[in-house]
Amino acid sequence: MHAGDAFYHHGTIDGRTPVPAALRAMEALVAWDLKRVRDNHARLAELYRHADPDLVIFSAHDPTLFEKVRAEA
């Protein structure tokens, strides 16, 4: 599942990797409704933690996840 602009760093959904402060700040600045952004992050993180083998979540903004998906294609 390509998450589009829903997140910019894999730490947003994996819950283990710290998201760089600059990305968190940028997201807060451009968000129309920061609560909705955070709610969406929580939903994506829940899907990610579920670890369904048929579902891969990625964003082209995140080079780590993008390269993982590209390598598996």
Q: Each residue of 14-60: pLDDT tens digit? A: 999 999 999 999 999 999 999 999 999 999 999 999 988 888 899 88
| SS3 state of residue 2 | strand
Burial of 65 (0-12, 13-18, 19+ CB in 10 A): buried
pLDDT at 68: 86
- Is there a contact between 11 and 64 (Cβ–Cβ < 8 Å)? no
65's tokens: 């996840």
Sequence-distant (6+) residues with CB within 8 A of 28 are 34
Residue at 13: amino acid letter: I
pLDDT at 70: 86
pLDDT at 9: 95
Return phi, psi of residue 65, to 5°: -70, -40
Res. 65: pLDDT tops 80: yes
